[in-house]
Amino acid sequence: MPEWLKDTIFYEIYPQSFKDTNGDGIGDLNGIIEKLDYVKSLGANALWINPCFDSPFKDAGYDVRDYKKVAPRYGTNEDLIRLFETAHAKGIRVLLDLVPGHTSDTHEWFIQSSKYEENEYSGRYVWTTNAFEGIAGHPYISGMTERYGAYMLNFFASQPALNYGWLNRTEKWMSAVDSPEARATIEALKDIMRFWLDAGCDGFRVDMADSLVKNDDEHKSATAAIWREIRDMLDKDYPEAALVSEWSNPEQAINGGGFHMDFYLDHWHNGYNTLLRDYEANEEDNSFFKAKGKGDIMRFLDDYLPKYKATKDYGYISMFTCNHDTPRPARTLSVQELKLAYAFILTMPGVPFIYYGDETGMKFLDVRSKEGGYHRTGSRTPMQWDDSKNHGFSDCEPKDLYLPVDQSENAPTVSAQENDPESLLNTVRKLTALRHQYEDLQAASSFKPLYAVKETMPFVYERGEMVCAVNPSEGGIKIRLKEFRGKEPVFVIGRAVVENEVLIIGPQSFAVFA
Ligand code: GLC
Ligand code: CA
């Protein structure tokens, strides 16, 4: 387990929308390099960059055409290597996005695999034997290739599934997990990982990590076995490299697959969603951080605690403010509510992720779909740096922007919040500084709810020797807990004091006591 993860705060960058340096309206690697000092000022010390590889961009780059080549619109491989070096010199690690489950249908492997003649890549993807034979229970396409057969999709129509074999094989064309063709896919994946690790990257965020072996068992044990093998490779040859999975089943991903971290994603009705995004799943939005105070921390804890307890000795659960697939939290939360939500995320165990722009409260915009974004596109708009043209994202003509910038009068920007100590941006900075200062607040220190009562505020939890309290509601509260004895606040949002064993916490407040 890389030690550095203990005190790491990630910042996710959607490269399209962070900073454009050559005026073509789309973000680029030089833009990320230019803004590394900003990342550092935020207290983030690691990046996750969404796929920046050659692609026809039918799914924003999650349809990779060449894993070993940076997409020309972002720069060159040399630029990416310079990004690694510049980031490292500033104490920032860089994770790339690895898409192991599928490629673009324009990837050379797929072009070869689609050919009538059998060749080295015939078994690289999942194919049936005949074009009139589908794949029960899975999406597939037929009629597009000279090869006889239908091929399985892993996501969109442009993303054929790579072949890692089938655990439960019911048809002749289903490869075994230890077949030569499934093994060849694993070796190809390792080769891509080695290529970028040798070039200086610090690991990978792994896309749809649970999607490799088809008809896997309920524990996804065959898929996990592949990741375990990859973890062994890392432990042996790249012990400092880190992997975070898009799996959202930490027991399977961490204990089973050997991932260092697993994202706690925003699945409807799950614990994470009840904190920031309770809407749509329920008639009324009772997200825990909403000021109306009708949230229920137990909806979160009942889901989270078993996951935390089962995995805490093996790896970390990663909570995020948002990601490129998720509505931005500012869609429904006010600035004060966001401060409390971020305070919570940044004082929980595991390794937290901040999505670019969430630190200023960037909004979820109503924009039309771009590159397969659909409803996700509203979270992918250009970073708002300042009040100059296109909010400082690009000096192109607005019509040439990759996605429109927030035109509203109160669009949050970095520059407007820079000098206000109470701004959301500076609150995030104080929170990240606090986390870096106290090991008790970092990834590996213990977590225990001290006061968590159904439909009742506040929520009080212990981290190591420290105590955190959050009261999202509009009413002040007093509670007595022996754990407060002798403690003083070291950080407060709103109002909070301790008198003997009594916590007096104001409306919409958060505090850490040591
Ligand atoms: C993951 C990515 C998402 C992408 C999909 C297919 O969920 O986060 O953006 O569309 O996988 O690769
Ligand atoms: Ca550019």
Q: Which fold has domain 3-101+182-437?
A: TIM Barrel (3.20.20)
CA–CA separation, 128 vs 161, rounded Å? 12
| Percent over 70 (pLDDT), the chain | 100
pLDDT digits (tens, 9 = 90+) for 376-390: 999 999 999 999 999
What is the average pLDDT across 144-171?
98
Top mutation candidate among 98, 207, 266, 369 for ligand 1, by most atoms within 8 Å of CB: 207
Per-residue model confidence as pLDDT tens digits over 177-192: 999 999 999 999 999 9
Give me the pLDDT at residue 219, please.
97
Q: Per-residue pLDDT tens for 270-312?
A: 899 999 999 876 789 999 999 999 999 999 999 999 999 999 9
Per-residue model confidence (pLDDT) at position 266: 84
Predicted pLDDT at 269 = 76
Question: Where would I find the H helices in 421-509?
Answer: 424-437
- Domain 102-163: assigned CATH number: 3.90.400.10
Q: Give residue 281's pLDDT.
A: 67
Query: Does residue 267 have a pLDDT over 90?
Result: no
pLDDT in tens, 163-180: 999 999 999 999 999 999
| Residue 455 vs residues 293, 296, 299, 366: alpha-carbon distances, Å | 8, 4, 9, 33
Alpha helices in 4-154 (DSSP H): 29-34, 36-41, 77-89, 108-113
Residues 6+ positions from 268 with CB-CB distance below 8 Å: 280, 281
The whole-number pLDDT of residue 268 equals 72
Substitution site in 58, 62, 159 for ligand 1 pocket (most atoms within 8 Å of beta carbon) = 62
Could you read off the pLDDT of 79-114 as tens digits, one per residue? 999 999 999 999 999 999 999 999 999 999 999 999
Distances in Å between the Cα of 160 and the Cα atoms of 105, 155, 267, 285 are 6, 8, 24, 37
C-alpha of residue 388 to centroid of ligand 1, in Å: 33
**Pocket residue to mutate for ligand 1, from 12, 50, 59, most atoms within 8 A of Cβ:** 59
Q: Which ligand is nearest to the CA of 20?
A: 2
Ligand nearest to the Cα of 22, by number: 2
Find the residues whose C-beta lies inside 6 A of ligand 1. Answer: 59, 62, 99, 155, 207-208, 246, 324-325
Angle at 166 between CA 164 and CA 169, to 5 degrees: 155
Residue 305, classed as helix, strand or coil, is helix
Answer left, alpha or beta for residue 486, where phi above 0 means left and psi between -120 and 50 means alpha.
left
Q: Where are the domains of the chain?
A: 3-101+182-437, 102-163, 447-513
pLDDT tens sequence across 446-483: 999 999 999 999 999 999 999 999 999 999 999 999 99
The answer to whether 12 and 354 are in contact (CB under 8 A) is yes
Residue 227 has pLDDT above 90, yes or no: yes
pLDDT tens per residue across span 338-357: 999 999 999 999 999 999 99
Interhelix angle 180-199/221-237, rounded to 10 degrees, is 40
The string of pLDDT tens digits covering residues 27-54 is 999 999 999 999 999 999 999 999 999 9
Closest atom of ligand 1 to 372 CA is 10
CATH 3.30.70.20 for domain 447-513, yes or no, is no
Q: Distance between CA 196 and CA 69 in Å, rounded?
A: 10
What are the φ/ψ torsions at residue 271 (nearest 5 degrees)? -65, -45
Q: List the structure tokens of 190.
A: 């390792």
Distance of CA 71 from the midpoint of ligand 2 (Å): 11
* Residue pair 271/303 in contact by the 8 Å Cβ criterion: yes
